[in-house]
């Protein structure tokens, strides 16, 4: 299971993600949808380590992790 808990990311004062939480169970398929500029790509880039969140936690299989790169 992958959990992103209370993720916040800003870019120069612009809030891309504000307190976002997502849980993805093993073997499931999800889609993240929204308007342009809603933060969809940013949350995914945080999930795979391209960006670091300003705050929040990432958990994988019940353990808190720090993803430092894709």
How do residues 10-34 score in pLDDT, each as one tens digit?
999 999 999 999 999 999 999 999 9
CATH superfamily membership of 2-65: P-loop containing nucleotide triphosphate hydrolases (3.40.50.300)
How do residues 36-60 score in pLDDT, each as one tens digit?
999 999 999 999 999 999 999 999 9
* DSSP alpha helix (H) spans, the chain: 40-47
The answer to whether 7 touches 16, Cβ cutoff 8 Å, is no
- Stated pTM of the model: 0.89
């Amino acid at each position: 299971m992958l959990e992103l808990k209370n993720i916040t990311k800003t870019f120069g004062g612009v809030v891309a993600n504000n307190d976002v939480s997502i849980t993805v169970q093993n073997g499931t398929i999800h889609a993240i949808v929204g308007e342009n500029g809603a933060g969809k790509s940013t949350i995914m880039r945080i999930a795979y380590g391209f960006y670091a969140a300003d705050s929040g936690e990432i958990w994988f299989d019940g353990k808190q992790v720090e993803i430092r790169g894709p």
